[in-house]
Structure 1
Amino acid sequence: MRLKIPLGRIIVAEGWAQPDDVLKAMSAQTGVQIADLAADPPAPELAGLMPVGFWLENDAVPWMRVGETVLVATPRPDRFDAIRAALSAADVTAVPVLATEQHIHSALARLFSAQLAEAAETCVASRLSCRDWKIASGLPGVLLAVLSILLATFFPGWGLAALVLAALFTLFLFATLRVAGFAAHMARKPRPRAKQVPCAAPRPAPSPSISILVPLYKEREIAGALVRRLCRLTYPKALLDVILVLEEKDDVTRAALDGVKLPHWIRVIRVPDRNRLTTKPRAMNFAMNFCRGEIVGVWDAEDAPAPDQLERIAARFAEAPPEVVCLQGILDYYNPRTNWRARCFTIEYCSWFRVVLPGIARLGLVVPLGGTTLFFRREVLEELGRWDAHNVTEDADLGVRLCRAGYRTEMVDTVTHEEANFRAWPWIRQRSRWLKGFMVTYLVHMRSPRRLLADLGLKRFLGFQAFFLGTLGQFLLAPVLWSFWLLFLGLPHPLGSVLPPQVVTALAGLIVLAELINIAVGLTAVASKQRRFLIPWVPTMMLYFPFGVIAAYKALWELAIKPYFWDKTRHGQAAEDHAEA
């Protein structure tokens, strides 16, 4: 394997030497002195010599002024000529000093904290961001809701009929999407194996460097387990750049990490506190400034990725056409036996990530990304504006934006195990955040439906409607459909005297058909040997999803009063089931 990286980084990453040892050897070789940025921080007044982007691009920081000369800290004195030339053009005489990359990045994060934090919150173009969301932004929807309430009050029959039609329409949308994804998944053809042609073996291309962002927030229980899981990775450590992203005032996680020895390929970036916005996408946007990988990935705190996951990602990106800029891995759970809710959560994820989502991707529809085990070509992620810092489902939003820009997402056959949220109220809180994010994402991209249609094309536009309207409608309007159990059981119903028996029968048939589709998808998803024990639990999913109705109305309320509130999911509550993972 060819590695286009400095020898010193390889030595440190493999644990053969400490960063200070390499720095001393480099100093002895080049005659450049070493700067202790921790004991003697860079002078703030020098920060304005060049824009922050210049220092980040060159992995350098202005340290101190000595007479007419500015000492600039760098980990690579062999590349200092470009820095010297740029500063010379600004009438500054620069001399290099040595410092570790970690110390340089920490210094830059302190010097430019306000500027970088503001940029992290405004990366995405205003027209595609929800940061300007106000209750007034949803005024048309509020007026529609008021009119619906008035209609239901003064004309209850007509009002309920309208809600029934809306519920049936969203049920049809989402069922159609699931059927399309299911059919595309079942019709898939395995990729043909390359023919063996006797010839001289080509020289292998250099493996890409990969940066992984792991946002952490108040993770008291997960720190040690996280590092153990990351240490299972088999990708060359010299090419691996794992960044643990912490909020500046998160003393809980910092204290947990203080008790863990981090390998040199794992580092910590602290995100400055500003405006009390502490969302995952904001933290990732800030940390992106310090990534050094050609590929950028995201894992969550509780993730347990497959050891060879990054090799698979690098290989697929090498083969994929340029328009494939995102690879989404399969998410699964390592604690499906904890209780009934954990079993149902596992069935739900298997259905989505192993059946429906691969089918949607194969059909070329909009792929709402899954939040973790995501990998991007870095230059395109920068082009797209990274993540919307104010959107609590930044993953789904980014999936829409990259599709609007003409790029594609592919599913890749590698699994990351997570912890199933198996307690009732934490499950509702987590699901409410997701549903609130779906609401915001839908409203943002539907600000201009005509432009969205032009960007996506008709097929993807309809797929977008089916996912977002279908998902939200199914949860918000589920009680309307549940009310028809009164009719099915022969009890009085407000529409009992209005609807002919044939319509009631057709309605019952549609609801049963949708449930049969869900069962078929679920049975297919858990048919593998490792998940076959879940088959008897698939029919119970109809009792699992009603919890989502509570979450949906909680999300609707929060959308009005605190749209940017990130309802934190607590991790580390379940042990790994190694037999399943």
Structure 2
Amino acid sequence: MLVCATARPEHFAEVMASLAYRLRRDLRLGLRPVIVRREEVQQTVAQASRAELTRKMACRVPPSESCRGWSATASRMRLMLGLALLGLALLIAHPAPVLLALTGWAVLTLVLAMILKGAAALRHLGRKAPLPEAQTDLPPPEAELPEISVLVPLFRERRIAAALLKRLDRLDYPRDRLDVVLVLEEADEVTRTTIRDLTLPPWIRCVVVPAGAPQTKPRAMNYALDFCRGDIIGIYDAEDAPDPDQLRQVAARFAAAPAEVVCLQGALDYYNPRQNWLARCFTIEYNSWFRLVLPGMAGLGFAIPLGGTTLFMRRTALEILGGWDAHNVTEDADLGIRIARHGFRTELLDTTTREEAACHPLPWVKQRSRWLKGYIVTYLVHLRRPARLYRDLGAWRCLGFHAHFITAVSQFMLAPLLWSFWLMLAGLPHPLLTLVPPALLKTCAVLFFCAEVQNITFGLIATRRAEHRHLWPWVPTMHFYYPLGCLAVYKALYELVVKPFYWDKTQHGHSLAGAASSAARTPDANQGPPAGQMPSS
């Protein structure tokens, strides 16, 4: 007799009908269904298929679209060291031409960044407001709401777990169609013990990821994907506080959107913007990016580099894409480009999730260095076959892809050269004064000044909502905030050579009181659409 264990007996007849042909010989012996708990089924499948699932989660993405072939081999390290020494030798032997070339590239990418951000901002600000009756999609009937699985990767999160459960409990979505999966690492006894001491509701469960390399968020999500039940897959981070109606908005938009729209990206904001100066600047940067530049890029038809949280995907499309690149430490930006290359589209959703801003310099640099390292890797991966990239994206989106990634990295790397133009505005001689005409140097100085004016203007516009106007006095200080990015990019370049897959963990839970007070304001906080150089992971 064939014994069939199931945790969902209501679907038993349907599942057995689909398996009747494959099990036809066993069914002759008889069939005895047994009802078990879902956790028992999950644990049995995980144990029986551990080796296959462990292998699969690290290499779901095709090799041509993954960075997993990039390893810190001795030959690669010697090559990079040789190139660095060559560059240093050229700088020592011919300082003037090298300095001129680097400054020229810095100015060129600055102009490109100004054009890109300016065009995106104007496109977003100049959009036509939708008619009142067309401002929201009609949600599906309650009985037809899709099942949504939300992945919440956790790693070394002792302080944030209890607060996370309270925020998830505020989600207004039928519990029988909500599948929240806490993704835990097998080697992370700290978080597993913390979760074990909590009482989880039936709609929240844990998936434990087998130990292995690389130990990254995308690898863990690849493993958990096979245990998800939903037709829509969403992602939240450990410290996230989403709008309560967010999942209903997701279901409504997917129901109304054409089939090629496979991803919805919500806006990210912070719930601790008053904690200190760094948190204020981070909030200004996020608002400029998510409420101004990113919507404008979408309006211009460019491929969207996703943020690492508050993104929702149709499961079928995610499986076609092969999930996430387990070796890319900015898997969200990479996924956004792969979505566009495969002919799918991403839309921005007018809903907000609040996070905790990295409010201390060292954690900020660590987090930003991971983003920059992932940006560099993503750009190099998609640049392997330029002709195919051009065919996949088309001329316009390919132009946007190059403009965004090149400027995002170059501006941080070469920022000290641009800062040197302040010498002229201060009446001091510039090092290039003997190499280029003074009029050209003055033009570059004015250009740099205009870039600062643009950043301030965009910061003021992006924080114009009532809840963020207290940040206006701090917008001009952003000029002193971005230099931290220089430290981050140099750290990223070092890690790119010696440990390209290293995930520098950002610790959360430093401002739980701010999160709680923000959550109380969440229902009416979703008031508008979202600068910064790049999105979150």
Structure 1 length as normaliser, TM-score?
A: 0.84
| Structure 1 residues 101-136: Cα deviation after superposition (integer angstroms, max 9, x where no partner) | 222012111211121111111110101100001356
The 1:322/1:501 distance shift into structure 2, 3 A limit, reads same
- After TM superposition, the structure 1 = structure 2 runs for residues 326-405 of structure 1, keeping only pairs within 5 Å, are 326-405=263-342
Any conservation in 2 of the 1:238–1:265 contact (CA below 8 Å)? yes
> Match for residue 511 of structure 2?
574
> Match for residue 43 of structure 1?
none
Say whether residues 1:73 and 2:11 are aligned partners: no
Any conservation in 2 of the 1:334–1:576 contact (CA below 8 Å)? no
- Deviates further, 133-142 or 338-347: 133-142
| Structure 1 residues 504-529: Cα deviation after superposition (integer angstroms, max 9, x where no partner) | 11111111111111111111110001
Say whether residues 1:240 and 2:178 are aligned partners: yes
Query: Separation in 1 of the partners of 2:81 and 2:100?
Result: 20
Residue of 193, 208, 212 corresponding to 1:255: 193
Say whether residues 1:504 and 2:441 are aligned partners: yes
| Structure 1 residues 358-409: Cα deviation after superposition (integer angstroms, max 9, x where no partner) | 1111111011100000000110010011100000000000000000111111
SS of residue matched to 2:88: helix
Amino acid at match of 2:114: A
> Match for residue 13 of structure 1?
none
| Structure 1 residues 398-445: Cα deviation after superposition (integer angstroms, max 9, x where no partner) | 000000111111110111000011011010000000000001001100
Residue of 143, 149, 153 corresponding to 2:88: 149
Any conservation in 1 of the 2:233–2:314 contact (CA below 8 Å)? yes
Amino acid at match of 2:36: A
Say whether residues 1:104 and 2:41 are aligned partners: yes
| Structure 1 residues 460-506: Cα deviation after superposition (integer angstroms, max 9, x where no partner) | 11111111110100111111212333344344543121122111111
Any conservation in 1 of the 2:421–2:448 contact (CA below 8 Å)? no
Amino acid at match of 2:94: F
Query: Separation in 1 of the partners of 2:206 and 2:230?
Result: 16
> Match for residue 395 of structure 2?
458
Instruction: Report the alpha carbon displacement of residue 140 of structure 1 after superposing the two structures with TM.
Output: 8.9
> Match for residue 29 of structure 1?
none
Query: Separation in 2 of the partners of 1:168 and 1:287?
Result: 45
Instruction: Report the alpha carbon displacement of residue 92 of structure 1 after superposing the two structures with TM.
Output: 8.6
| Structure 1 residues 201-237: Cα deviation after superposition (integer angstroms, max 9, x where no partner) | 9977711110000000000100100000000011111
Say whether residues 1:167 and 2:106 are aligned partners: yes
- After TM superposition, the structure 1 = structure 2 runs for residues 417-436 of structure 1, keeping only pairs within 5 Å, are 417-436=354-373
> Match for residue 564 of structure 1?
501
Identity %: 51
Any conservation in 2 of the 1:487–1:496 contact (CA below 8 Å)? no
Query: Separation in 2 of the partners of 1:489 and 1:248?
Result: 57
SS of residue matched to 2:230: coil
The 1:567/1:202 distance shift into structure 2, 3 A limit, reads closer
Instruction: Report the alpha carbon displacement of residue 158 of structure 1 after superposing the two structures with TM.
Output: 0.4
> Match for residue 249 of structure 2?
312
Structure 2 length as normaliser, TM-score?
A: 0.90
Instruction: Report the alpha carbon displacement of residue 100 of structure 1 after superposing the two structures with TM.
Output: 2.1
Any conservation in 1 of the 2:140–2:252 contact (CA below 8 Å)? no
> Match for residue 377 of structure 2?
440
> Match for residue 190 of structure 1?
129
> Match for residue 120 of structure 2?
181
SS of residue matched to 1:86: coil
Query: Separation in 1 of the partners of 2:168 and 2:352?
Result: 14
| Structure 1 residues 13-68: Cα deviation after superposition (integer angstroms, max 9, x where no partner) | xxxxxxxxxxxxxxxxxxxxxxxxxxxxxxxxxxxxxxxxxxxxxxxxxxxxxxxx
Residue of 209, 221, 228 corresponding to 1:271: 209
SS of residue matched to 2:40: helix
| Structure 1 residues 233-285: Cα deviation after superposition (integer angstroms, max 9, x where no partner) | 111111100000000111110111122111100000000012x3210000000
- Deviates further, 457-466 or 413-422: 457-466
> Match for residue 8 of structure 1?
none
| Structure 1 residues 301-343: Cα deviation after superposition (integer angstroms, max 9, x where no partner) | 0000011100111111111111111000010000100000000
Please tell me whether Structure 1 or Structure 2 has the larger radius of gyration of its CA atoms: 1
- Deviates further, 184-193 or 143-152: 143-152
In structure 2, the gaps of 5 or more residues are 523-537
SS of residue matched to 2:506: coil
- Deviates further, 496-505 or 408-417: 496-505
- Deviates further, 144-153 or 290-299: 144-153
Amino acid at match of 1:86: R
Amino acid at match of 2:18: A
Say whether residues 1:410 and 2:339 are aligned partners: no
The 1:142/1:361 distance shift into structure 2, 3 A limit, reads farther
Residue of 68, 75, 82 corresponding to 2:18: 82
> Match for residue 521 of structure 1?
458
Structure having greater relative contact order (Cα 8 Å, sep ≥ 6): 2
Any conservation in 1 of the 2:147–2:230 contact (CA below 8 Å)? yes
The 1:140/1:351 distance shift into structure 2, 3 A limit, reads farther
Query: Separation in 1 of the partners of 2:509 and 2:375?
Result: 26
Query: Separation in 2 of the partners of 1:456 and 1:280?
Result: 27
Query: Separation in 1 of the partners of 2:248 and 2:425?
Result: 54
SS of residue matched to 2:92: helix
Query: Separation in 1 of the partners of 2:123 and 2:88?
Result: 40
Query: Separation in 2 of the partners of 1:313 and 1:390?
Result: 28
Instruction: Report the alpha carbon displacement of residue 172 of structure 1 after superposing the two structures with TM.
Output: 1.8
In structure 1, the gaps of 5 or more residues are 1-68, 196-200
> Match for residue 144 of structure 2?
206
The 1:419/1:204 distance shift into structure 2, 3 A limit, reads closer
The 1:141/1:362 distance shift into structure 2, 3 A limit, reads farther
Amino acid at match of 2:122: A
- Deviates further, 395-404 or 111-120: 111-120
Say whether residues 1:321 and 2:321 are aligned partners: no
Instruction: Report the alpha carbon displacement of residue 165 of structure 1 after superposing the two structures with TM.
Output: 1.1
Query: Separation in 2 of the partners of 1:118 and 1:476?
Result: 37
> Match for residue 533 of structure 2?
none
> Match for residue 46 of structure 1?
none
Instruction: Report the alpha carbon displacement of residue 81 of structure 1 after superposing the two structures with TM.
Output: 3.8
Query: Separation in 1 of the partners of 2:81 and 2:345?
Result: 34
